[in-house]
């Protein structure tokens, strides 16, 4: 084996977090090596946002992140804000637009974001080694030694930026967790998040609505999201469901308000306006036809509205506003945009992302137990945590 190459810092993972960490450390004059087993950097960036990369959200705030410690993300998010990333994007003359709810996308292509990060890395003299499987990581006398792709590199600082296990076909692995555990860090049980939920049993009949979408409020516990829900051939998807999936746990139910804009008493008013109408017709005025039919079947209110007592109609309104689904699972890591859980923040400094008991070791990005909402929040965490570590290594 050739003699080891020595660096100031080695970053494992050339995703958004790893590249941001590398460019910021490199531009501070650090000698940085990035190692990735994939054959190209930033693969998740390339497929993100439908190929346009939803690279940040202007409403970024710590309460839009899930973590065992809701305060942990504050420091990094506060020091590297959405505007910092927008400044970088504008410096590279990448045109962007706000789509909805503060979500910023490239006008052109996600490739521009990867190109920008690589150019910035180059500006910082960062070396990137791809197609380099990591075969061993050791630590002795304050130095980390990384065996990878038949080579060896050493550095006093090591950054774990290999992400979470979502979408294994893109090269995602649980490597970060194994490595963290080996160095004495704890891992909060990872589970798929921003993921479609599946329906079975009695609720399987909703799968016949595959392709139907409607705006709802989806809630689980105290979390609630008003966005579109989409029925699929396996269950439920769409932004409202993806959002709530991060808060949902196996065995629990979620509540759907199918008519968030309907005023109280709307069905009694419909009865007076159209007494001969059936529930299905009244629902079809506010919901897609097929959904109206399925819900009316389930609610089983026989006959014309004129024959219903107002109290019964009020009960129907209540059920439509708090419809309970108990998903029998999710589509799993194969379809999850992110992972909830990960390297426990209790063992990390929120300022530097360094392990408290082993300050040369850092963890950033999705590998850490910080998970954002849908809509650019996860990249903002990747940038912010990467930048924080990049200032420290
Ligand atoms: P990331 O997973 O990006 O990078 C980890 C790197 O480590 C990869 O390059 C991988 O090859 C490498 N690696 C893994 N295991 C390794 C090993 N054993 N050895 C060596 N290297 C290894 N977020 C958002 O804010 N806006 C959006 O539009 C989207 N869209 C989106 C779409 C889809 C389909 C998905 C799956 C995800 C999103 N996301 C998103 C989430 C976002 O992609 C995610 O939060 C970030 O990519 C996380 O960045 P990291 O750098 O932490 O991990």
The atom of ligand 1 lying closest to the CA of 42 is: 9
Q: What is the pLDDT of residue 241?
A: 98
Q: For ligand 1, say whether the CB of 386 is within 6 Å of any of its atoms.
A: no
Q: What are the mean pLDDT values of the chain's consecutive 10-residue runs (393 residues total)?
A: 84 98 98 98 97 98 98 98 98 98 98 98 98 97 97 98 94 95 98 98 94 98 97 98 97 98 97 97 98 96 95 98 98 97 98 96 98 98 98 98
Best mutation site among 163, 172, 367 for ligand 1, i.e. most ligand atoms within 8 A of its Cβ? 163
Q: What is the pLDDT of residues 250-296, one digit of tens each?
A: 999 999 999 999 999 999 999 999 999 999 999 999 999 999 999 99
Question: What separation in Å is there between the alpha carbon of 366 and the centre of ligand 1?
Answer: 7
The atom of ligand 1 lying closest to the CA of 53 is: 28
CA dihedral (338, 343, 344, 346) positive or negative: negative
Q: Which of 202, 257, 208, 256 is nearest to 234 (CA)?
A: 208
The atom of ligand 1 lying closest to the CA of 385 is: 52
Q: For ligand 1, say whether the CB of 149 is within 6 Å of any of its atoms.
A: no
Q: Residues with Cβ < 8 Å from 388, sequence gap 6 or more?
A: 75, 76, 79, 80, 351, 352, 353, 364
Best mutation site among 13, 128, 153, 245 for ligand 1, i.e. most ligand atoms within 8 A of its Cβ? 13
The CA-based dihedral angle spanning residues 117, 122, 126, 131, taken in that order and rounded to the nearest 10 degrees: 70
Q: For ligand 1, say whether the CB of 362 is within 6 Å of any of its atoms.
A: no
Q: For ligand 1, say whether the CB of 373 is within 6 Å of any of its atoms.
A: no
Q: Which helix (H) or strand (E) holds 323?
A: strand 323-325
Q: What is the pLDDT of residue 2?
A: 58
What domains lie within the chain, and their CATH numbers?
A: 5-192+337-392 (3.50.50.60), 197-330 (2.40.30.10)
Q: For ligand 1, say whether the CB of 345 is within 6 Å of any of its atoms.
A: no
Predicted model pTM? 0.97
Q: Residues with Cβ < 8 Å from 176, sequence gap 6 or more?
A: 13, 160, 161, 162, 163, 164, 342, 343, 363, 367
Q: For ligand 1, say whether the CB of 341 is within 6 Å of any of its atoms.
A: no
The CA-based dihedral angle spanning residues 196, 200, 206, 208, taken in that order and rounded to the nearest 10 degrees: 90
Question: What separation in Å is there between the alpha carbon of 163 and the centre of ligand 1?
Answer: 6
CA distance 178 to 215: 41
Q: For ligand 1, say whether the CB of 49 is within 6 Å of any of its atoms.
A: yes
Q: For ligand 1, say whether the CB of 26 is within 6 Å of any of its atoms.
A: no
Q: What is the pLDDT of residue 4?
A: 73
């Amino acid at each position: 084996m050739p003699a080891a190459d020595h660096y100031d810092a080695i970053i494992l993972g050339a995703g958004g977090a790893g590249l941001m960490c590398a460019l910021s450390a490199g531009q501070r004059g650090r000698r940085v090596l990035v190692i990735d087993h994939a054959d190209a950097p930033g693969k998740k960036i390339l497929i993100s946002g439908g190929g346009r990369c939803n690279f940040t959200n202007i409403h970024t705030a710590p309460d839009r992140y899930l973590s065992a410690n809701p305060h942990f993300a504050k420091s990094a998010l506060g020091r590297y804000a959405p505007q910092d990333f927008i400044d970088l994007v504008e410096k590279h003359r990448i045109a962007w637009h706000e789509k909805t709810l503060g979500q910023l996308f490239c006008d052109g292509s996600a490739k521009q974001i990867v190109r920008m990060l690589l150019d910035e890395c180059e500006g910082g003299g960062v070396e990137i080694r791809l197609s380099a499987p990591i075969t061993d990581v050791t630590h002795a006398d304050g130095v980390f030694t990384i065996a990878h792709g038949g080579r060896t590199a050493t550095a006093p600082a090591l950054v774990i930026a290999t992400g979470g296990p979502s979408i294994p076909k893109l090269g995602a692995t649980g490597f970060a967790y194994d490595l963290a555990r080996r160095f004495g860090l704890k891992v909060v049980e990872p589970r798929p998040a921003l993921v479609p939920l599946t329906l079975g049993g009695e609720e399987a009949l909703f799968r016949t609505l595959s392709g139907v979408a409607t705006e709802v409020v989806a809630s689980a516990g105290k979390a609630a999201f008003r966005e579109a829900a989409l029925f699929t051939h396996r269950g439920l998807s769409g932004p409202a469901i993806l959002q709530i999936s991060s808060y949902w746990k196996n065995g629990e139910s979620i509540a759907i308000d199918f008519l968030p804009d309907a005023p109280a008493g709307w069905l009694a008013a419909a009865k007076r306006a159209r007494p001969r109408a059936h529930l299905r017709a009244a629902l079809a005025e506010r919901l897609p036809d097929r959904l109206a039919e399925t819900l009316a079947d389930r609610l089983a209110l026989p006959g014309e509205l004129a024959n219903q007592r107002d109290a019964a109609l009020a009960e129907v309104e209540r059920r439509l506003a708090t419809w309970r689904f108990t998903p029998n699972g999710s589509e799993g890591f194969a379809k999850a945009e992110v992972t909830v859980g990960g390297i426990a923040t209790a063992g990390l400094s929120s300022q530097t992302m360094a392990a408290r008991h082993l300050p040369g070791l850092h963890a950033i990005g999705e590998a850490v137990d910080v998970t954002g909402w849908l809509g650019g929040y996860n990249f903002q965490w990747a940038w912010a945590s990467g930048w924080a570590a990049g200032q420290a290594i």
